[in-house]
Structure 1
Amino acid sequence: MRLHLAALLTLLLLAPAGARDWFRPAHAGRDYINADLTPRRAMKGPVKSYWNGQLVLWEGRIQAQERVKGKHQFVLRTAAGKIPVHFPKKVLNLEHDREGFRVAVKGYLQIEDGQVKGLSGRSVILLGPPRNWTFTPPTPPASVTDPRLFEFLASWMHFHNPDYTDSQLTTIASAILAEAANNDLDPLFLASLIQIESAFDIDARSVSGAVGLGQLMPFTAEGLGVDPNDPAQNVAGAAKMISRLIQDWDANDNPRAMALASYNAGPNLVRQVGGVPRYSQTTNYVYFIGYVHKAMTRSAQAQGALSLNLEKDL
């Protein structure tokens, strides 16, 4: 039996330390995530003045979340120390109480007098609930062949959107598993794409008119034969689209990065430049999805929701 794509992706995640992640930023600059500038490196010092204003993605847990004059702020507790984070604009992921949540903060590093003063936050990626968080996932429907992964996905979506009903969680989690199988995708890769596109918000609408979980443009959804306003069909459309793009870039050294760049910026532009476009939005988009996929996979493994019997899968 051939090795399933999900197994291949997980093997890549278990690559030796020092192996370069496929999703590392293809370009560098202040508005591109600097994956090497970690909290430990910045806090340990010596602090470089040119780090000031550099975009980073730093992971930790939220402490002292509050809103001051309508603006969100909190302390990010990392392994290297505590970092104040202030957001100049509204952040949807912070509209709920996120105290104790594990997150990755996208923000610009602030350096003053040779010290790290904090982050000017732009967005928050949710990676895990508080340690004391409890949730009983809905019962998997009979059509689900992997109940543990279904429960993991339902729980992951619930801490993003705690107001969702069991019916909504069941619809989305079932669709992710079914459409991943139909399109030979790792379900956690598909879920990671949806998280970055919409934070699992079925009602998400972009200023450009993109709709739903996979942020499908109406004309794209029409070409895919799906109703973008139906959550399950939206997932189906997103799965079809990213699967086709991965196949289109199969001969490339990094088909996933090229496919994600095409999903974000359009395949014509990616073909024209022959790689991930030198746009910070697209470069960071690829990085965010890869980062979430890696974090989500590790969480699923730790919870026993993802395991591989390679002998059986071969």
Structure 2
Amino acid sequence: MRAVLILLVLTLFPGSAAGAREWFRPAHAGRKYVNVDLTPARGLRHPAHTSWHRQLVLWDGVISEHRLREGKHHLRLSTPSGEVPVHFPGKVLNLESDRTGYRVGIKGELQVSSGKVSGLTGRSVILLSPPRPWRLHPVPSQAPEARDRLYPFLCWWVSFHNPDAPAAQVEIVALSILRESRKNDIDPLFLASLIQVESAFDVDAVSVSGAIGLGQLMPFTAEGLGVDPHEPAQNVAGAARMLAGLLREWQHGENPRAAALASYNAGPNLIRRWGGRVPRISQTANYVFFIGYVHQVMTRIAGEFSS
């Protein structure tokens, strides 16, 4: 086995979340919807409006400190505009390991006091890059997908999300994403972005509602798709098949990708009632935004990686 040395990419972000005026930008406004215009540059350098208090944002930066106190995660997020304290009141996916030095996007509510942003109450963390060169020892594979230019990138991406995952498991996830994307004629990075937001590539993930595995398939959904949701490769196959079907359904709509993701999250019947538009439901609108944002970042890094 030959070690593959992966160098960090310095140009990770497409500017900032505020620059995202693409298909995934939230169509609705309010404190429960991500405000992509309220960036660290605006929030930390200008007097804070009282209306910003508890506004949902996605702020990206580097974790300069990560501590666990009384079972709660406390971070300091370093941004070009300054450092921001972040505390998480509940359990957080992606923070099981020490993430100091990682570049991340933090979804959280702004805390405003005395005319200043005093911090963020974190809800979730999106990992975007590890803090150091990441060494992989991939299991030799004869699968045709292993020759795809995206294969080493996906192995790297999955691996830094789950540093303790066996190399064979990382390989299965990466190969499955490539294989099922090809079968269903969808962008593999789009599928990977959905899986990242759904499960952070945790093959054993189970939600409080009972959704299972990488693509967070409900048992009845998996049964309808003819897959075993507990088996990683089959779970990816089911997620890809479902996503491809939704993209086909909305291919002639005004925003096919947003409608497909909203359908994956909230169910196609609801989106049909909304005429193919993302409904005025904050959880669904934010879900579409996060996947679109991850896909934008992932696509940029993959391009740098391949070159």
Alpha-carbon contact 2:56-2:108 (below 8 Å) kept:
yes
Task: Calculate the TM-score normalised by the size of structure 1.
Answer: 0.89
Q: CA–CA distance in 2 between the matches of 1:295 and 1:54?
A: 23
Query: Alpha-carbon deviation of 1:210?
Result: 1.1
Whole-angstrom CA distance in 1 between matches of 2:49 and 2:224: 50
Aligned residue number for residue 42 of structure 2? 41
Give, in angstroms, the shift of residue 149 of structure 1.
Answer: 0.9
Amino acid at match of 2:63: I
C-alpha displacement of 1:140: 4.4
AA matched with 1:25: P
Match of 1:280 among 272, 282, 289: 282
Instruction: Give the 3-state SS of the residue equivalent to 2:67 in structure 1.
Output: strand
Q: Which whole-Å deviations, capped at 9, do the CAs of 1:122-178 have from their partners, x for residues lacking one?
A: 111111100344434444434226443111111111111111111101111000001
Indicate the residue corresponding to 2:3 in structure 1.
none
- Secondary structure of the 1:261 match is helix
Residue pair 2:137, 2:167 contacting (<8 A) in 1 also: no
Partner amino acid for 1:204? Answer: A
Equivalences for 1:20-35 in 2 at 5 Å?
Answer: 20-35=21-36
**1:133-172 residue pairs with structure 2 within 5 A?**
133-144=134-145, 146-172=147-173
How many residue pairs align between the two structures? 290
Tell me, yes or no, if the aligned pair for 1:99 and 1:130 is still in contact at 8 Å. Answer: yes
- What is the SS of the residue equivalent to 2:207? coil
Secondary structure of 1:59's counterpart equals strand
Partner AA of 2:94 in structure 1: N
Residue 115 of structure 1: aligned partner: 116
C-alpha distance 116-105 of structure 1, shift in aligned 2 (>3 A): same
Take 1:282 and 1:110, find their aligned partners in 2: how far apart are those partners? 23
- The separation in 2 between residues aligned to 1:146 and 1:277, in whole angstroms, is 40
| 204 and 52 in structure 1: CA distance in 2 versus 1, 3 angstrom threshold | same
* AA at the equivalent of 1:98: R
Within-5 A mapping of 1:94-243 = 94-144=95-145, 146-243=147-244
Structure 1 equivalent of residue 300 of structure 2 = 298
Query: Using the alignment, how far apart are the partners of 2:132 and 2:164 within structure 1?
Result: 20
> CA 1:184–1:137 in structure 2 vs 1: closer, same or farther (change >3 Å)?
same
Is 1:102–1:130's contact at 8 Å kept on the other side of the alignment?
yes
What RMSD, in angstroms, separates the aligned Cα atoms of the two structures? 1.7
Contact 1:140-1:151 within 8 A present in 2 as well:
no
Structure 2 SS opposite 1:200: coil
Which deviates more, 146-155 or 188-197?
146-155
Contact 1:105 1:123 in 2 (8 A): yes
Contact 1:137/1:155 (<8 A) preserved: no
Per mean C-alpha deviation after superposition, the further-off stretch among 241-250 and 220-229 is: 220-229
Distance in 2 (CA, whole Å) between partners of 1:85 and 1:278 is 28
> For 1:124, what is the secondary structure of its paired residue?
strand
Cross-structure match for 1:3: none
| Distance across 2 between alignment mates of 1:287 and 1:159 | 23
- Specify whether residues 71 and 145 from structure 1 end up closer, same or farther in structure 2 by C-alpha distance, changes over 3 A only: closer
Pairwise CA distance, 1:39: 0.6
Of stretches 67-76 and 135-144 in structure 1, the one that deviates more from structure 2 is: 135-144
